[in-house]
Amino acid sequence: MASTTFYDEQATNRRMSWLLMLSVAVLLGALGFAIGYSTTGDPWGGLWITAGTVAFAVLLSLGSYYGGDSLVLAASQAQQVDATSQPQLMNVVQEMALAANVPMPKVYIIPDTAPNAFATGRDPHHASIAITEGLLEKLDREQLQGVIGHEMGHVRNLDTRYMLLVGVLVGGIALLADMFLRYTFWFGGGRRRSDDREGGGGLQVIMMVVAVVLAILAPIAARLVQLSVSRQREYLADATSVEFTRNPVGLEQALAKIATDTEVLEVANRSTQHLYIVNPIKKFESRAAGLMSTHPPIVDRIDRLRLLRGGQPLTDDERRALGGLD
């Protein structure tokens, strides 16, 4: 198995993330143009409709950008700690903050025995890291370093801001598609241009069909791309953790422990699951029904970490043991 470096992994995942985001932007532009042309008969109509939709989606997202971290921490029942109450944890966080060259984030403990962790905040100067009590109890210091390095990777890589941008694009597509389908249902589509005799009317009908098809399929495709972007950022944070710790083994062991733990993280839900280092909603839970994965498979993440140290991939027995819960 050929080895690679965490710099190679970081470059690959950054490139994939931006390509995926570009695909969402192209999808939004195509949908906006098709809807604008089919409803107004004017190519410029697509530009104005797309711009207006994005502007509206940005306004709706500003509240999440500036206050979303407080809401997530409150919903998780997280309690802030300091060096007096959690000296080892604060020491590890400080080490990783120095390695990442970012300010020391606020640190919170979630009163739950299921091991997990997440980072939130709009930038490194407003970042917070939350760790469950179960994570502190079940991981040793080396494994804890790997987890904190992963979360600090999210902070340094501005993943919250990046995912918000993707969310704005995906939300814009969903909003635009929903408005158009409702408009088409109630009013039968756009009015024909008065110059149908010049051939514009036929093209407008074609664009109406294209717009309806895109309005149905684009939100699904955009959501799938959003999930793919989320998974790429997890791979990137794993590689960044190795950059900070110079030790893939700690994170590798931590991921295996978290993934195979059968305790349920009660405070996690569908809207916050993407934040955690490992999907907190296990496959055996009833609330997992119908969910699309926000995280890469644990076996793939561990194999990538083993690749960084020139190790062998997981055996079939190891893959089966790790693949049943996450």
Which residue did the predictor score with more confidence, 302 or 5? 302
3-state secondary structure of 150: helix
pLDDT in tens, 40-55: 877 777 788 878 877 8
- State mean pLDDT over 232-255: 94
Which stretch of DSSP H or E encloses residue 113? none
pLDDT in tens, 148-187: 999 999 999 988 888 877 887 888 888 888 888 887 877 6
Which residue did the predictor score with more confidence, 105 or 162? 105
- pLDDT for 194 equals 44
Percent of the chain with pLDDT over 70: 89
Query: Helix crossing, 87-100 with 200-245: angle to 10°?
Result: 120
- pLDDT for 195 equals 47
Q: Kindly list the catalytic residues.
A: 151
Which residue did the predictor score with more confidence, 222 or 84? 84
Smallest CA-to-CA distance from 218 within 184, 182, 183, 169 is with: 169
The answer to whether residues 267 and 110 touch, using CB atoms and an 8 Å cutoff, is yes
Radius of gyration from C-alpha coordinates of the chain = 23
